[in-house]
Amino acid sequence: MEDEHPDTRTSAAKEIGQTGPHDPVAQRRTERNARIAVTIFPLLVIAGGVIGFLGSDSISALAPTIPWGLGVIMFFMGVTLTLPDFARIAKRPWVVALGTGSQFIVMPVAGWAIAQLLGLPPALAIGVILVGCAPGGTASNVVTYLAKGDVALSVSVTTVSTLLAPLLTPVLTLWLAGSYMDVSAGAMMLSIVQTVLVPVIAGVVVRALFSRLIDLLGPVLPWLSTIAIAYVVAVVVAGSAGSLMTAGALVFVAVILHNGVGLTLGYVAARLAGLRTAERRALSFEVGLQNSGLASSLAATHFPSEPTAALPGAVFSVWHNVSGAILAALYARRPITD
């Protein structure tokens, strides 16, 4: 799912590239692992939100640890990256560029437009825009596999958008959210370098030095990542529990619209570019599923006086896994003829 399930790629998404589609035993195992990921992982994140809401008085004090939680998530993403992942980017640069460009155009602009359409208060508007300006979430890799999409393309776009986030996320946030509140692009850039880029690079280095150990721990890593995501969601919800009852419905509407726009326009952009069905499905998820854990972390770090700014990211962390799983099931029922 994030985000990771979801914000970390699970072993299910990697196995298909390693075993190949003609190994029926491995394929059934991969299918089972992927379905577990998109079924159980969201439930764990929801549980984190419930715990945060019920224990808000004590858990909200943990807000300063949110960036550390995100760093753990991104480290686990880094240890899943291998040289073939980067080689795939070089093989299809224009397709990866299309997916990454769509990611950083569609979602930021959609976030701003939805904030305007719904008349969101400044804190919620910034939260929605931050979700849009975040890179893609690794949940996309798992649901792309379930949808019989191009998993290699999905992994490539997730990797590139994550590496570009330290530059593009602060600039886009300043451009689109600067009218709501003061946004320090420089401080935000430093935060993303510390909580995203450095942990990912550290993960890649650890993978290179201890590849056998990482392979042994592979089945455990997605669960550790999900626990970290659930922790971040719990702390974010705890910090905004007071306003959740009044703003919750509005946040859900904004998140569902935002996610739906991304899923739809990602597919449309791929179709207009003449890509095959499997590639269209991959880009649909790449654009529609975000690293919303990063958005929540940035909101909590840079807008501490507005705890509701982190709420859209927390809600998105749950919803995009639900919508992704549903759409993947629908895609999987439709045969690919090209």
Domain ranges (residues) in the chain: 11-332
Is it the case that residue 3 has pLDDT exceeding 70?
A: no
Checking if the pLDDT of 21 tops 60, the result is no
The confidence score (pLDDT) of residue 8 equals 42
Mean pLDDT of the region 34-52: 77
Cβ atoms within 10 A of the Cβ of 193, count?
A: 15
Burial of 122 (0-12, 13-18, 19+ CB in 10 A): middle
- Binned at pLDDT 50, 70 and 90, residue 169 comes out as very high
Predicted confidence (pLDDT) at residue 28 exceeds the cutoff of 70: no
The whole-angstrom separation of Cα 279 and Cα 286 is 10
Looking at every residue in the chain, the average pLDDT score rounds to 84
Rounded to whole angstroms, how far apart are CA atoms 128 and 306? 13
- Cα separation of the two ends of the chain: 28
Helix, strand, or coil (residue 122): helix
User: Has residue 165 got a pLDDT over 70?
Assistant: yes
Nearest 5°: CA angle at 295, between 292 and 301? 145
Q: What is the pLDDT of residues 178-236, one digit of tens each?
A: 888 888 889 999 999 998 899 989 988 998 888 888 888 877 777 787 788 888 888 88
H and E: helices and strands count for the chain: 17, 0
Using 50, 70 and 90 to split pLDDT, how confident is the model at 1? Answer: very low
State if pTM tops 0.95.
no
Q: Considering the chain, what percentage of its residues have pLDDT values greater than 90?
A: 38
Rounded CA-CA distance 187/128 in Å is 19
pLDDT greater than 50 at residue 12: no
Distances (CA, A) of 325 to 2, 29, 132, 136, 240: 13, 18, 20, 16, 27
- pLDDT level of residue 26 (50, 70, 90 thresholds): low
* Contact between residue 319 and residue 1 where contact means Cβ atoms under 8 Å apart: no
CATH topology of domain 11-332: Na+/H+ antiporter like fold (1.20.1530)
Query: pLDDT value at position 151?
Result: 87
pLDDT of amino acid 34: 62
Contact in structure between 258 and 323 (CB atoms under 8 Å) = no
Helix, strand or coil, per DSSP, at residue 180: coil
Structure tokens at 158: 């997730």
What does the pLDDT look like over 241-283, one tens digit per residue?
777 777 778 999 999 999 999 999 999 999 999 999 999 999 9
